[in-house]
Each structure stands twice: as C-alpha cells, then as structure tokens.
Amino acid sequence: MQTMDYYQIMGLEKSASQAEIKRAYRKLARKYHPDVSKEADAENKFKELGEAYDVLKDPEKRKLYDSYGDNWQQQSATQGEPGSGYYHTSSHEEANFEDLFNELFRKKQHQNYHYDMGQDIHAKLTIELEDSYNGAEKSFTLQTPSLDNEGQLHYVEKIINVKIPRGITDKQQIRLKGQGKRINAQQCGDLYIEIKIAPHKWFNLSGKSIELLVPITPWEAALGADITVPTLANKIKLKVPKGSQTGDKLRVKGKGLAEGDLLVKLRIVIPPTVDENMAELYQKMANMSECNPRSNLGE
C-alpha cells in the first residue's frame, strides 16, 4: 500500500510533463523552505517535497515509481537500474537543488557583512585600534534574505548592536547567541562577527602587542636621550640607551592590548640638510673614529 503519493505532494497529475514538475517544485520550495516559510510543519513538507522531486524529475525513477509505487527502489535493485538500492530521504543534495538555491539564497556581500546559508550567520566588522584598546559599542546593518507574500526574494535590513570587548585582536570572533537565522518558529541560530582592525597611522598590531617605529637623531643614539612617544592612551617618557642602533627595540610593559606590550623600534635619521658647521663636526667625528661598520661585509 502506497504511503506517500509524490504527485499529490507536488499537486500534479500523473501525466505532468518534466517542465510542469520543475515549475511545481520551484513554487512549492519557495512556499515551504524552513528559512522563510510561515506554513505549519514547513520543514517536514520541504523534505517530502525534495523526496518527491528527486524521483519525478528522473525519467527512469519516475517510470519505476509509476509502475511499482513505494516498492520502486526494490524493483530498481532487482532490475539493476542505475542507483539501485540507494536513496537518501533526508538529503537535499540528492535532489540537486542548486538552481533554486542560487536563485533564493545566493550569497550577498555588502560593505562589512555577508550571509551564509545554514543555522548561523557570519559577518565581518571593521573597527579602529582604539576601539579594541578602550572597548566600544558598535552598530551595523545586516541584510538577510526573505520572501514576500508573492514569493519574491528581497533582503531585510536588521540593525545589530555589539559590544566590543577590550583587547580583542584581529580576526577574533564575537558570538551573539540567537541572532542568527531562524530554523523554525522556536529556534534561531547564532551570529558570529569576525573583527577586522583597520590599519593605524602610527601603530602596527602584532598579537596583543603594539609596535611603534620611532625616529631618533644620530646624537640621541650615540649619547642616549629621554624622548616622548605616544601610546594608545597618552604620551610617555622613554629613555634611549647610549649606543642605540637602528632596529633596536625597547619594550614598554602593559601598553599594548590587554596584557600586551608596546614595542618601540628605533630608526636613526640623518638630518636632511647639513650646513658648514655640521659638516665640520661630522668631519671631526670621522677623523677621531676608527669605526668601520663594513669591516666584515662580504666575508
């Protein structure tokens, strides 16, 4: 005794053409897809629709179904038909829904968010380095696909408010529970927001440490000096040791993100103009010094 009538599920006569089967599937898939449907028991109806379409769209399977009803798979296995003895009633991939999904749920990227099919939604949010250092509250617009009463696809805007925790790093995720896609009337997925920290004018982020390139003069490098450098919070005094070289790093504890540090990288800068007096000083230095920084070059 036949327990499921595939033609009845799709609202078709047994004489329906392949084109009519495809049109009926598109129409009903829009109606019952659990992401957008308001129908009762939409998820089960969508699965039944997928099972019916998988059989009726295939001429060989349809021929066996028309002849043997629910026993068509056993007959397929007996007769050695392609795909015999193997059928997934719960797999939407077996029904080749790609054409419909491309129409209904194509991925859409807009500014700093995107929508992924599945239980959860994934988005990206760009923040400033100062937002991570101090903590902040941000809002952005998320667009999700929806079907109107006429079955037309459009995108619904939703304002998302998110609290940026102090010390969050680049590519780290924030999870907002229950802010994702609706699976059914009682359950929603989660929203995962990937944080992107925008490039900064002065600072480079390395994990939770912050790097700052600081230019110094030749005499500050040779004699040592007390200089002022910026941090994300304020300006601080920093002691440059005598005999410092370009590339030397000075570490300032606790001035990075959270428990991270500030790493000050020194770069010796030659004055852009040299007058006669400075040239005379440089010449005296050259005469007095026996230093040859290239002595080992090429050995």
pLDDT digits (tens, 9 = 90+) for 24-80: 888 888 788 776 777 777 788 888 888 888 889 988 888 888 887 777 776 655 554
Highest mean pLDDT out of 112-121, 231-240, 283-292: 231-240
| Overall average pLDDT of the 82-86 stretch | 37
Domain boundary among 41, 74, 101: 101
Count of domains forming the chain: 3
Domain boundary among 197, 228, 243: 197
Beta strands in the chain (DSSP E): 109-110, 113-114, 121-127, 136-147, 153-164, 173-176, 182-184, 187-188, 191-197, 203-206, 209-216, 225-230, 235-240, 249-252, 262-268
Model pTM score: 0.54
| Overall average pLDDT of the 138-150 stretch | 75
Q: pLDDT tens-digit profile of 252-273? A: 999 998 889 999 999 999 988 7
Q: pLDDT tens-digit profile of 96-143? A: 444 444 444 444 333 344 443 446 888 899 999 999 999 999 998 887
Q: Where is pLDDT greater, at 3 or 92? A: 3
3-class secondary structure, 11 = coil
Domain boundaries, position 44: 6-101
Residue 86 pLDDT greater than 90, yes or no: no
> Residues 276, 279, 284, CA angle at the centre, nearest 5°?
125
Distance CA 146, CA 112 (A): 20
Residue 299, in any domain of the structure: no
Q: Are residues 90 and 112 in the same domain?
A: no
Residue 80, in any domain of the structure: yes
Q: What is the CATH number of the domain that holds 121?
A: 2.60.260.20
Domain boundary among 78, 101, 124: 101
In sequence order, which residues have a C-beta less than 8 Å from that of residue 109 and are 6 or more positions away?
none
| Overall average pLDDT of the 203-232 stretch | 94
Residue 84 has what pLDDT? 37
Residue 82 pLDDT greater than 70, yes or no: no
Q: Are residues 18 and 73 in the same domain?
A: yes
Q: Where is pLDDT greater, at 87 or 208? A: 208
| pLDDT-based confidence at residue 144 (cuts at 50, 70, 90) | confident
Q: Are residues 115 and 145 in the same domain?
A: yes
Residue 178 has what pLDDT? 80
Q: Are residues 41 and 66 in the same domain?
A: yes
